[in-house]
Structures are given as C-alpha cells and as structure tokens.
Amino acid sequence: MKSQFLSTVLAGLALGLTAFGADIVDRPEKLTFPALRFEPPNPAQFRVPLKSGPVAYVVPDRTLPLVTISITVRVGSYLDPDGKEGLAEFAGYLLARGGTKSRTAEELEERLAFLAANLGSGIGDDAGSVSLNLLSKDLPEGLKILREVLTEPRFQENKLDLYRQQNIQGMKQRNDDAKFIKAREQERLAYGDRFWACRQTTEKSVNAITQEDLKAFHQKWVHPAGFVVAVSGDFERDAMVAQLESLFSNWPFKGENPPAIPADISMSPPGVYFVKKDVNQGQVSILLPGVMRDNPDFLAIQVMNDILGGGGFTSRVMNRVRSDEGLAYGAGSAFPGGVYYPLAFQAGFASKSRSVKYAASIVLEEMTKIASTPVSDEELQTAKRSFIDTFPENFNTKAKVAGRFASDEFTGRFAKDPTYWQTWRSRIEAVTREDVQRVAKEHLHPSKAVILMVGDEKDIDLGDPKHPLTFKDLSSGPLVQVPLRDPLTMEPLPAESR
C-alpha cells in the first residue's frame, strides 16, 4: 500500500500536473513568512562637516562607475524682490545653463553632453539645488565645471533672453488646462493672495529681470555657508572629502545669510469658490488649515490621513468615490506637514460635471465620519503596516540615503532629532485608534472647508438627479465666483469675457 501511494505521488510530480496546487492554502492569511530585519543607515556614519563650510553626506557605492553630487542652497523665491517675481527661478535655471567665466553656455553644454554628464540647477520656493551625475572617470573634470558654475556663472545675455521668451510663452498656457487653474487658485485660497508663495510671475516682472540682477542675486545667496551636500557613488570616502574641501574653499565672494522664510499665511473663509472653465470634467479641491511637520501628532495625522484618503485603494475616499460609485479615476487626500509654515490639508478629485457635487459630498461625509467614529482595527493595522513595512524603500539606493540625510540636515530635522529614522517605526506603531480620532477631530472640520471647483458651472450646478444637492449642502459659506486671470498680468478678467 505504502509503496503504491508513493509511486502515485512520484508519477504526479514527474508529470508536473496534478501535484501543482494540491496543497495551496485558500486564504493569504494562512501563509507564514520568515522574519525580516532591517535597520536604517545611521546619518552620523556619513556626515562630514567640511572645513570649507558645508555639511556633506558622503556615501560610497562601488557597484557602478557613476557619481552623483547634489548641493542644496539656502535660497528661494521668497527672496524675489517685488516687481521682479521670477528672479530666483531665472537664476536657478540659468546657473548651470548660462555658461561660466571661461566657457560659453554652448561650450559648456557641448562638453557635458560629450561626457554624457547630467548637470542641473534650479531654485524653488524655499531651496535651490545644483546637481551633477556623471561617470566616475570624469569626476575631476566634473568637479572643475561644478566649481566654475557655482562661483563664476556667466548668465549669458542671449540665454536670459531665450529663457524669458520661453517663460512668457509658458505663461500663455496658464488658463488652458483646468488642472493648472486649480493648482494656482488653491494656493491663493489656502495661503492668501499676499503670501509670498502665491505671488506669480507676470510678463512685466520677468521683463524687469536683468543680467545684473542675476549676478547680484547669485553673489548674495550662493555661497558655501548655506550649502548642504549629498554625494554618492564610485569613490573612496577620504579622497572625496578632500575633493569637496577644494571645491568649496576660497570662495571668491562673501554673500549674505538669508532672512527667515516668512510664514504669514491666511486661509480664505469657508465657502464654495468657483472658477468657470469649459470642460466636461470638474476639478475639485477641498482645503483646511494644516500643520507643521514637527507637530507632536504629525505621525498620528499621517496614519489618520492614510485611512481617510492618503492610502490609495485602501483609503475610504478612494473606496467610495472611485470603487463604489465610479465617479473619479483618482480621489484622495494629503496632509503634508510644513517645514517653514503649515501646509494645508487637501482632498480632491476630478469628476464629470454632473457628479461633481455628489462626489464632493461623499468626501466631506468621510471627513466628518473619521472625526466622529473610531476607525476599525483592520484599517489601523493596514495603515500602520503599510508605513512600517515599506520603510526600507526610504533608503533603497545610496543616492537616496545621501539625499534624505542631506535634506534632514538642510531643514534642521537632523539637528533637532538625530534619531528621527531610528525611532520612526516604533512611533508609527504607537498610534492608536483613539489618536486617529482625536487628531481627526482636531484638524478636520468640514464646516470650515474651503471648496474650490473649476469647471462647467451650469452642468455642475445641474448635478445628478439621483443625488440632488445644492452648493449650500456642501458649505454653509457663500458661493464665490473667482475670476480667471489674464495669463500675462494675473489681473482678474471680467466675467463676461469668459
């Protein structure tokens, strides 16, 4: 008997057919997995305060013959003088693309292209960056170019003119896509017309930018005292440190320390704000005041938001708006913490005009619900496991390790909490259902929401006969018509002309 049973099994295995799947479990919970250990890298291991000024994170990685250097600069569009909005952006773009003292822009770009090296630069709202990725055999030449770009940029006049032209033509597309309009107006509503980050470039402001402005801006703000450096790739650590020292020493000008980044935001009063645009899909953004990144509840807020609308297909907003009702392709929420000023909570989606109000009512309902009823254990576990078990992705390349630590250095997080990443997972683990409800109650007040809609007002107002709703059902605040703006002047356009 025994031998016959065995031969049957063996025959089945040999055929490779009947044996497959015979003993496979019917539910994934029945599977067991080996333990997985992961410890995040320790920033102190890579941190090098350079004698020449900057702090560098140096992460050798000999697997590929490539080197990445990224320099973060303490500068930003908050430093734009009134009337010259765009100066920081122009300086950032042209720093690496406008030539240097010894080479024209064309010569520089030609050489970099021949070396297949990627040199980039840019200045955003609250930071600037210059980065270089190249083959390690070209590192000495690359560093020489980097030094020239950082200390002796040419800001070639014809490149300034060309970028200005491209920029103005880009402005002309500002009202072409409803998404652009939404992005612009939600900033104004969230932070106030007069807040520095809501200032817009205009034809006039970029026409006012001169080569002298760019040079002065560069000499004022681009200097090693404000640099944080991330380097990773194919080099020997001590040799790289020495190369960085010579890259940043003997800076030819002194520069200034930038002033603190202003934080004088003010959110618009609750209401439905409407921008008319002739498209068949309405864009919706629901805004509430946000928090700083170092808020003690920040991680609890992240878990709460993940369950509400941040977690994609496991989130409530996505489940209801998309999966249940088929009202949107994407729907969700974000609760980003600010470094310099509180960043607003935002929930949003795009839906066909007739279902815009209904979908908005669902999102508001979910905001109310998560503040009034505890989330389920299952939801809490899903959110927590998702954060904790994807944690290694934060460090999955050496460039990411260097970049993440450099960013923490730049934003002051490292100085404040050097063990931030070491303790991160246990702090997520500690979030309870009570925490989730408490932070939802504290921060999610649908009655205070600023609701922005961009789309076809007539069809949106008409709504879905199966779900009759008025704008008043969405907000106790007024319905406010927000004018489109002339794309070159940003002046409101009169209603009739739309």
Partner 1 sequence: MTSLRLAGLLAVATIPALAQQIPVIERRLPNGFRLLMVERHEEPRIAGGWVVKVGSANEHLGITGISHLFEHMMFKGTPTLGTKDAQRDLELIAEQERVRGEMRREEAAMRVALREGRLEDVTKPENFTPRYKELEAEFKKLIDEQRQLLVKNEFDRVYTTAGASGMNAFTSEDMTGYFITVPSNKLELWCWMESERLLRPVFREFYAERDVVYEERRMRIESTPIGKFGEEFNAMFWDAHPYMWPVIGWPSDIPNITKRDADAFYALYYQPQNITLILVGDFQPDQAEAMALRYFGRIPAGTQPPPEVVTREPNQPAEKRMYAEAETNPQVDILWKTVGYRHKDSYPLDVLQLLLSDRTGRLYKGLVLGSQVATETYAMQDSKKWAGQFNIGGEAKDGKSPEEVEQGIYAELEKLKNEPVPADELQKVKNQFAAFEYRKLTANFPIFMQVLQAEGLGDWREVNEANAKLQAVTAEDVQRVARKYFTKESRAVAIYTRKPGTGAASDDPDLAGLAADQRPMVRRIVESLTAEKDVAKLKEFLGQLEAQTGNADPKRQQLQKILQKKVAARIAELEKK
Structure tokens at 22: 């015979």
Q: Which residues ranging from 332 to 391 are in contact with partner 1 (CB under 8 A)? A: 350-352, 354, 378, 381-382, 385-386, 388-390
Candidates 6, 11, 137, 257; binder of partner 1 (CB under 8 A) is: 137
* Three-state secondary structure of 427-450: HHHCCCHHHHHHHHHHHCCHHHCE
Min CB(382)–partner 1 separation in Å: 5
- CB of 203 or CB of 435, closer to partner 1: 203
Min CB(294)–partner 1 separation in Å: 26
- CB of 28 or CB of 296, closer to partner 1: 28
Structure tokens at 80: 């734009």
- CB of 27 or CB of 101, closer to partner 1: 27
Structure tokens at 463: 């709504």
Min CB(101)–partner 1 separation in Å: 19
Count of residues engaged in binding partner 1, rule: CB under 8 A? 100
Q: Is 253 a residue that touches partner 1 (CB under 8 A)? A: no
Min CB(70)–partner 1 separation in Å: 14
Where does this chain touch partner 1 (CB under 8 A) — which range of 262-270, 403-411, 418-426, 482-490?
Answer: 482-490
Min CB(286)–partner 1 separation in Å: 18
Quick note: the x/- pattern for partner 1 over 432-461, rule CB under 8 A, is ------------------------------
Q: Which residues ranging from 8 to 37 are in contact with partner 1 (CB under 8 A)? A: 16-17, 20-21, 24-28, 31, 33-36
Q: Which residues ranging from 33 to 52 are in contact with partner 1 (CB under 8 A)? A: 33-36, 38
Min CB(39)–partner 1 separation in Å: 11
Neighbours of 287 (CB within 10 A): 24
Q: Is 135 a residue that touches partner 1 (CB under 8 A)? A: yes
Q: Which residues ranging from 254 to 273 are in contact with partner 1 (CB under 8 A)? A: none
Q: Is 165 a residue that touches partner 1 (CB under 8 A)? A: yes
- CB of 339 or CB of 493, closer to partner 1: 493
* Three-state secondary structure of the chain: CHHHHHHHHHHHHHHCCCCCCCCCCCCHHHCCCCCCCCCCCCHHHHEEECCCCCEEEEEECCCCCEEEEEEEECCCHHHCCCCCCCHHHHHHHHHCCCCECCCCHHHHHHHHHHCCCEEEEEECCCCEEEEEEEEHHHHHHHHHHHHHHHHCECCCHHHHHHHHHHHHHHHCCCCCCHHHHHHHHHHHHHHCCCCHHHCCCCHHHHHCCCHHHHHHHHHHHCCHHHCEEEEEECCCHHHHHHHHHHHHCCCCCCCCCCCCCCCCCCCCCCEEEEEECCCCEEEEEEEEEEEECCCCCHHHHHHHHHHHHHCHHHCHHHHHHHHHCCCCCCEEEECCCECCCCEEEEEEEEEEHHHHHHHHHHHHHHHHHHHHCCCCHHHHHHHHHHHHHCHHHHHCCHHHHHHHHHHHHHHCHHHHCCCHHHHHHHHHHCCCHHHHHHHHHHHCCHHHCEEEEEECHHHHHHCCCCCCCCHHHHCCCCEEECCCECCCCCCECCHHHC
Min CB(31)–partner 1 separation in Å: 6
Where does this chain touch partner 1 (CB under 8 A) — which range of 252-260, 265-273, 324-332, 430-438?
Answer: 324-332
Candidates 12, 289, 312, 338; binder of partner 1 (CB under 8 A) is: 312
Candidates 47, 53, 104, 109; binder of partner 1 (CB under 8 A) is: 109
- CB of 353 or CB of 411, closer to partner 1: 353
Q: Is 426 a residue that touches partner 1 (CB under 8 A)? A: no
Quick note: the x/- pattern for partner 1 over 187-206, rule CB under 8 A, is ---------------xxx--
- CB of 398 or CB of 443, closer to partner 1: 398
Say if CB 231 and CB 57 are below 8 A apart. Answer: yes
- CB of 18 or CB of 266, closer to partner 1: 18
Candidates 3, 169, 250, 426; binder of partner 1 (CB under 8 A) is: 169
- CB of 135 or CB of 241, closer to partner 1: 135
